[in-house]
Structure 1
């Protein structure tokens, strides 16, 4: 059973899914439906949001980044599904898969971010979410719905951390600025 978290809440993934080895990080969103003349639907513009993962060591140093321009981590443990340019359709718009067993031992924190590559703000985004799925059982372990609107162009969605061999995930929902994950590094470090 999935746990729907509020901003700042944490779930112990090791208790929720003992033996967790393969994690599916899904992000989804929709463009806000714009209203036309007399309030009738006018359709919507496409929104190009980009899901990314920043990999930090225990000293909060970035040791890797996975995003649409680098779809595979240096150690091969993290794979990005590719860039969705519209946000159209149901379910996950972008997926990042993590093999926790292959992840370098130096990696202690995975920060999940989303950025608006075209600079569109989150006032234009609807139904944004981040979810974590145990790929071996297809069970959703964590879901965070981003309900806050604003003029920001990026959001730090979640923090996945390990202490010893145990993994936990925290819903962050911290707004940021920038069109790519590189613009989110300092904010992400401050939230670890």
Structure 2
């Protein structure tokens, strides 16, 4: 059973997975407010609420890699789908929110992350500038890529007048990887706009 995270909660990934985790998938999902409830199918189910009278919202997931001094080492987002070292890979942008399966998923090879990288912060932002009043049922979840078992899920109430969410952080602590559920509202169309709000969480 995956652990259901509350805002601010921190967990050990290896402890929750029952062994050493090397490759994980971080899936970020949401529905369009007012759309039909999504049916969970495929790996991440229906991440967006398709079929809601033509409503859609273009949300983008990003991963920002920090060092111990909270300096940005690298970023992965829809204009750079892979980190320079190859350890983080974005599966690509879904612009309409329709369709089942792996819409906004970021693959992370924890064993390949450079030693100077101490944390990875995952964000979601509205590139089109729509506010999260249009968003319902936002979540992020971490999956063991080796067996597709869900390790942790963080469901959060994301609705409001903001245009971005700082979702979660995966970070090193005492030579093990942990996950921190953040769930903070922010404003910005891309991760660049979010950096002043994200950096304190790194």
Do Structure 1 and Structure 2 share a fold, with TM-score over 0.5?
yes
Q: Take 1:127 and 1:91, find their aligned partners in 2: how far apart are those partners? A: 17
The higher radius of gyration belongs to 1
Q: Superposition pairs for residues 1-192 of structure 1, below 5 Å?
A: 1-17=1-17, 18-33=19-34, 43-90=53-100, 92-192=102-202
User: Residue 31 and residue 104 in structure 1: after superposition, are their counterparts in 2 closer, same or farther (change >3 A)?
Assistant: same
Provide the secondary structure at the position in 2 that maps to 1:96.
strand
2-side partners of 1:69 and 1:142: how far apart? 27
Residue by residue, what CA displacement relative to the aligned partner does 1:38-57 show, whole Å, maximum 9, x if unpaired? xxx97141110000000000
Displacement of 1:112 after TM fit?
0.4
For 2:111, what is the secondary structure of its paired residue? coil
C-alpha distance in structure 1 between counterparts of 2:138 and 2:158, whole Å: 9
Q: What is the root-mean-square deviation in Å for CA atoms of aligned residues?
A: 1.7
1:165 deviates by 2.3
CA distance in 1, matches of 2:112, 2:74: 14
If each structure's strand is expressed as a fraction of its own residues, which one has the higher value? 1
Aligned to 1:101, the other structure's residue is in SS state: helix
1:186 deviates by: 1.6
Once residues 91 and 151 of structure 1 are traced to their aligned partners in structure 2, the CA distance between those partners, rounded to angstroms, is: 28
Count of aligned residue pairs for this structure pair:
187
Displaced runs of 4 or more, over 4 A? none
Partner of 1:83, secondary structure, is: coil
Structure 2: give runs of 5+ residues left out of the alignment. Answer: 36-50
SS at match of 2:106: strand
Q: Work out the CA distance in 1 between the residues paired with 2:179 and 2:80.
A: 23
- Alignment deviations for residues 69-96 of structure 1 (CA, whole Å, 9 cap, x no partner): 0000010000000001122245653000
TM-score, normalised via structure 2 length: 0.87
> Per-residue CA shift, 1:89-143, capped at 9, x if unaligned?
4565300000111111111000000000000111101121100001112111111
SS in 1 for 2:86: coil
What is the alpha-carbon distance in structure 2 between the residues aligned to residue 42 and residue 127 of structure 1? 14
**Structure 1 unmatched ranges of 5 or more:** 35-40
